[in-house]
Amino acid sequence: MNYFLGLFVSGLTRGSIYALLALGYTMVYGIIELINFAHGEIYMIGAFTALILASVLSIAGLDALSILVIASLVAMIYSAAYGYTMEKIAYKPVRHSQRLSALISAIGMSLFLQNYVRLAQTSNFLPFPALIPRFTFLDLLPFRASSAQFVIFVTTAVVMILLTFLIKFTRIGKSMRAASQDKTMAMLLGVNVNRVISVTFLIGSATAALGGVLISSFTGQINFFIGFMAGIKAFVAAVLGGIGSIPGAVLGSFVLGWTESFGAGYISSDYEDVFAFAILVLILIFKPSGLLGRPENKKV
């Protein structure tokens, strides 16, 4: 039973990180129907930003938890600026072009950011400090769960609650929903669609960076390539739940996380990535719109 609970917690941790990334994919797609394949690189840039800042703050003598909070906030702001700039440079000029143009632009931006960080930093793995202190109350649990796993899950839950409140009850959230339904009509009603798209990229980039900082502190290492597979897995989770649906992105992320965790634990860890893409193939065959997605009704 303890082994099962351990795998459950591991899957919950994976799903939480995937969810922080998948939110960016699904929010951007919901408004401009673009898959931002450079989203994983924003996750990676957030982790590197936190590593650099953590190194500086540790010299200043701050405690680990303070370093984590400050580094996370700065990484989120810095990565959000990257996301905003990326949207203006790579996506806005091709927004009204064919989808293939936007797709090529997204892939090109992904490759550019990967190699930019590789040249600016290093191609080797770098150690990332364990910034999350041990919480003694976790020792009372009947299964093993690290403080990092607990913080990842709680942080993701808080982000989901705040994002839900933002979208449902704030003016910018209502503008996002209007733009996702009909951008032309939203503009006619006074919604600044360009600003909505920019804010969407800012929020998605900030949550991705937060995920990068938390998982790096948990695993203890980073390199320039960590965003690629994480981004692909988060994209799978978004499609699994229903691309364009925020609840679907969260559900798909946890389903994917548990699938990987239980598959690796009970079958073989060698096939961990196979499980992710196998479930994607199955969902595309039997329910192309995703678990919570709705089929598109196109007029002909």
More confident position, 300 or 249? 249
Burial group, residue 96, by CB count within 10 angstroms (0-12, 13-18, 19+): exposed
| Average pLDDT value for residue range 2-21 | 89
pLDDT digits (tens, 9 = 90+) for 183-210: 888 998 889 999 999 999 999 999 999 9
> Which residues neighbour 108 within 8 Å (Cβ) at sequence distance 6 or greater?
90
Q: Residue 293 — pLDDT band, cuts 50, 70, 90?
A: confident
- The answer on pLDDT for 290 being more than 90 is no
pLDDT at 143: 65
Contact 131, 64 (CB under 8 A): yes
Q: Tell me how long the chain is.
A: 300
Cα 292 from Cα 248, distance rounded (Å): 5
Structural contact between residues 25 and 279, judged by C-beta atoms closer than 8 angstroms = no
State which of 77-91, 129-143, 170-184, 275-289 shows the largest mean pLDDT: 77-91
Q: Which residues does residue 222 pair with via DSSP β-bridges, in sequence order?
A: 126
At residue 295, the pLDDT reads 63
- Locate 80 and state its tokens: 């959000």
Provide the sign of the torsion angle of the four alpha carbons 241, 234, 20, 108, taken in this order.
Answer: negative
Q: Give Dmax (Cα) for the chain.
A: 65
* 276 located within any domain: no
Q: Above pLDDT 70, what percent of the chain?
A: 96
- First vs last C-alpha separation in the chain: 55
CA-CA distance, 263 to 267, in Å (whole number)? 5
Residue 244 lies in a domain: no
Q: Is residue 289 part of a domain?
A: no
Element holding 126 (H helix, E strand): strand 126-127
Instruction: Specify the pLDDT at position 299.
Output: 45
Which whole number is the average pLDDT over 217-245?
89
Q: What is the pLDDT of residue 159?
A: 92
How many domains does the chain fold into? 1
Residue 144 inside a domain? The answer is yes
Instruction: Kindly state whether residue 155 falls inside one of the protein's structural domains.
Output: yes
Q: Which residue has the tokens 């808080």?
A: 158
Q: How far apart are CA 269 and CA 287, in angstroms?
A: 27
Token digits for 17?
């990180």
In three-state secondary structure terms, 28 is helix
Q: Quick one: tokens of 140?
A: 């009372």
Q: Is residue 198 in some structural domain?
A: yes
Neighbouring residues of 97: CB distance < 8 A, sequence distance ≥ 6? none
Q: Which structural domain range is residue 79 located in?
A: 13-228
Q: Which residues of 53-78 are buried (b: 16+ CB within 10 A; e: fewer)?
A: bbeebeeeebebeebbebbbbbbbeb
Residue range 205-226: mean pLDDT, rounded: 92
Q: What angle do CA 19, 103, 296 make, to 5 degrees?
A: 65
286 pLDDT higher than 90: no
Q: What is the pLDDT of residue 300?
A: 45
Q: Return the number of other C-beta atoms located less than 10 Å from residue 19's C-beta.
A: 28
Query: Residue 4 domain-assigned?
Result: no
Q: In the predicted model, what is the mean pLDDT of residues 53-58? A: 91
Taking all residues of the chain, what is their mean pLDDT, rounded to a whole number? 88
- Rounded to whole angstroms, the Cα distance separating 184 from 157 reads 34
Please give the pLDDT value at position 247: 86
Residue 270 lies in a domain: no
CB 263 within 8 A of CB 35: no
Task: Kindly report the backbone phi and psi dihedral angles of residue 223, in degrees, each rounded to the nearest multiple of 5, phi listed first.
Answer: -155, 180
Token duo for residue 185:
């009509």
